[in-house]
A and B are shown apart, each in its own frame.
Chain A
Amino acid sequence: MWIRQWRNWNLPESAVTPEQATLGRRRAVALAIGGLAVGRVAAARADTTPPAGRYDPGRPLTEEKFATTYNNYYEFSTDKDLWRAAQRLPQHPWTLRIEGKVRAPRTIALEDLLKQVAVEERIYRHRCVEAWAMTVPWTGFPLAALVKLADPTPEARYVVFETLTDAKHMPGLAMLWYPWPYVEAVTIAEAANELAFIATGLYGKPLPPQNGGPIRLVLPWKYGFKSAKAIVKVTFAETRPATFWETIQPAEYGFWANVNPLMPHPRWSQASERLLGSDERVPTRLYNGYAEQVAGLYAGKTAEKLFM
């Protein structure tokens, strides 16, 4: 095991707490190697018990200040530094509408929803279509739990996520030529995959509004734009919906949008990615390195443009 520790010099995910998340990687290494982390590991196991090492990101965590100040969120602005503007977005009360091909459409308050699921922490690599990446600890629950709760009928083939449109707090919505609301979707099979996650927290804190707070989707094997933020509606549909970016530029952003280093974006290479807040550029991996968990979803789908 110690060899693994050397190779992936970050802590195993079970050891991560908010303070450690912001530690420099050298200190994290020192902590892990010095055995100082042992107590913490045990403590963390006791309360959150994530399956140790299952989704070991193999990379140091991104510093929190970078993950929370460099965001794509067109509802606020097309600039990356929208985090200030996003602070005004009210996060409470928040309700989620569940409808479509479900046995009982309903509206559920976020705090009630959280009572019905088991919350856990997961460290995922996140890959943006713009060739940058971060590694962050999300808290939340598997999307599969939400699907189970919604109780879809057999006709449901897609799960469709819709982002809030609050023109009073989201100045970007004034760009009326964009196809608001932001809509993204996955197939029912993708939604059932163990990696598909609904996040309500980041770095052990409530999910900040600029990162999609209070509730967002996280699909670590797909480009970031698939993971809708500030979700207000989840619809179970029979047919594939028109999604936001696919509507804008179908030749550049597709429905599947699985990460693939060998499929360049028409205007830039996807072969490598720049890690936020560092001088490191690292090779991009197929399905963002999660092929083991997700490749099976796409077996036989040869007619689809899976990687765009």
Chain B
Amino acid sequence: MPVRPRLSVLWRDRAGRFSALKAATLLALTVPALALALRWSLVGLGARPLNAAIHDLGLWGLRLLLLSLAISPARAVFGWARGLMIRRMVGLAAASYLAAHFTLYALDQGFRPLHIGHEIVHRVYLAIGFTALVGLAALAATSTNAMIRRLRRRWKQLHRLVYAVAALGLLHGLMQAKSDITQPAILVGFFAWEMLFRALPARRQSAPLVLFLLAFVAAAATAGLEAGWYAAATNLPWRRVLDANLMPELYGPRPSAWVGMVALAVAILATARSVFNRRGRAGPSAPEPVPLRG
């Protein structure tokens, strides 16, 4: 007999028990949308409210997408197996924010389908965003338990698309910026960190030394990608942008610093954890095998 989906899957685990983790995640994921709606209705979003909302939703969608990609690394580093229970929820939240992002764009363009189609085809950054959104829709549509069972091995292959979707989303975010790419550059840096992590051999992924090295490499990659973008897309002196990374007293933290600091924090926590574990406290350092997807 087909199981009818119930809303309560959002806060119950597979065994049907209440899951505080899932419930808390669900709440947290609605915070950016609620905050936006509250600001919009109470104080307004300024002179171009729709555009401000489009930007906010695009940024949050991309942030959540990158967060969903950080969950399996978190399992590898911290043995946080339960994280997988919420991965699908985070991914679907990202898809929802980006669907809203597109809907507001359509609204801003007066819901004229032909005109919107014309714009998407003619503006490269919109064509890229659209491609990403189509990919995301395919991922969301195949995220039901039934689809996962039906597709089996092919499901895993299909859902590797998420990396391409994220990369396209980042490119779209970079291209829409007028000349200041600070926000998208930070996200590009986190993506680079996640991709570098994935490239590591599985048994090295939780080694503190490797993680420290990775933090350094990810920060350098962020700086390189940022300066590279300025070199490729603008006439600005990319050397100066690169040099700014080394002069925080003048420029404040650049994107490389944000990425480096978060990556460093992960490395430090991983070190603490491995020291803690070695002191004889219980707990395997390698992740236990867990059932995928809550």
Which of A's residues lie within 8 Å of B, judged by CB?
66-67, 69-70, 78, 80-81, 130, 132, 134, 174-179, 247-250, 264, 267-269, 274, 276-277, 279, 281
Contacts and interface: CB of A to CB of B under 8 A. Distances in A.
A248 B236 contact: yes
B281 interface: no
B47 A70 contact: yes
Contacts of B122: 264, 269
B47 A69 contact: yes
A67 B48 CA distance: 11
B235 A176 contact: no
Contacts of B50: 274, 279
A130 B179 CA distance: 12
Contacts of A279: 50
Nearest to B125: A267
A177 B244 contact: yes
Q: Is the interface of B mostly helix, strand, loop or mixed?
A: helix
B140 to A, nearest CB: 27
B119 A249 contact: no
A69 B180 CA distance: 20
A174 B248 CA distance: 11
B237 A177 contact: yes
A276 to B, nearest CB: 4
Contact of B250 (A78, A174, A248, A276): A174
Contacts of A134: 47
Interface string B166-195: 000000000110111010000000000000
B176 A249 contact: no
Contacts of B110: 281
Given A264-B122, A267-B123, A267-B176, A178 B47 contact: no
Contacts of B233: 249
Contacts of A66: 46-47
A130 B178 contact: yes
Nearest to B252: A174
9 cross-chain pairs, A with B, having the tightest CB-CB distances, nearest first: A70-B47, A78-B180, A66-B47, A177-B240, A276-B47, A177-B236, A177-B241, A277-B47, A249-B234
Nearest to B250: A174
Contacts of B96: none
Contacts of A250: 235
A250 B235 CA distance: 8
B288 interface: no
A69 to B, nearest CB: 6
Given A132-B48, A132-B51, 5 more contacts: A177-B244, A247-B235, A248-B179, A269-B122, A281-B109
B44 to A, nearest CB: 9
Contacts of B109: 281
Contacts of A268: 123
Interface in B73-112: 108-110
A277 B52 CA distance: 12
Nearest to A81: B46
A250 to B, nearest CB: 6
B18 interface: no
A277 B44 CA distance: 10
Contacts of B51: 132, 274
